[in-house]
Amino acid sequence: MENETNRILETAMKIILAAGNAREQIQSAMAGMGAYNFSAAEEHLAQAKEYISEAHTAQTETIQGEARGEVIPFSLLFTHAQDHLMTVISEHQTAKNLLTVFRSLDQRISELENK
């Protein structure tokens, strides 16, 4: 049981680290949007997506293991990691939507300035 506990804790930390890296990239993307640097924002969001995928893969492997009958001990840290990942996924989607809005507003302002 100790090996399973260590494995779930390692997986939880992997998820938390990757999700934290994704959040950092999302914050950089938001800063890019605020500076009207949309290409930089896109790059940061793409990097965030890679970190999210890494975290999601670790989570999914654990869930699939349990579905196959592997004993996965309860871990508050793993639950926290899942919550952290879910929040970051939501932040990523919101940032993508904001990028669309910022671009649209920037284009509209540019058109008005050029009249």
Which sequence positions are flagged as catalytic?
80
Angle ∠(8,11,14) on CA atoms, nearest 5: 155
Q: Name which of 62, 47, 70, 73 is nearest 14 in CA terms.
A: 62
22: Cα within 13 Å, side-chain hemisphere:
27
The neighbour count for residue 16, using CB atoms within 10 Å, is 20
Angular region, 72: left φ>0, alpha ψ -120 to 50, beta rest: beta
Length of the chain equals 115
